[in-house]
Amino acid sequence: MSALTHEEWADALREGDLLGVTCTDCGRTYATPFLVCDECGSRDLERTALPREGVVYTETTVQVPPEQ
């Protein structure tokens, strides 16, 4: 598979699929499009399908007041 663009990633989300990228050098996987692996610096990333089920360990809610 090829690298993943933001547009392809967003289109997949709208269709109910979760895509990410995996570094072919170190194996680290990201749930959003990346151009360079944060772990090893490689640019050899390929598109990968991510599981649709899992465990949520944390959640963050951001509340922003309305403009006045």
Q: What is the pLDDT of residues 27-51, one digit of tens each?
A: 999 998 988 999 999 999 999 999 9
How far apart (Å, rounded) are the C-alpha atoms in residues 27 and 67? 44
Q: What is the pLDDT of residues 1-28, one digit of tens each?
A: 467 899 999 999 999 999 999 999 999 9
CA nearest to 44, candidates 58, 27, 56: 27
Question: What residue ranges do the domains of the chain occupy?
Answer: 6-49
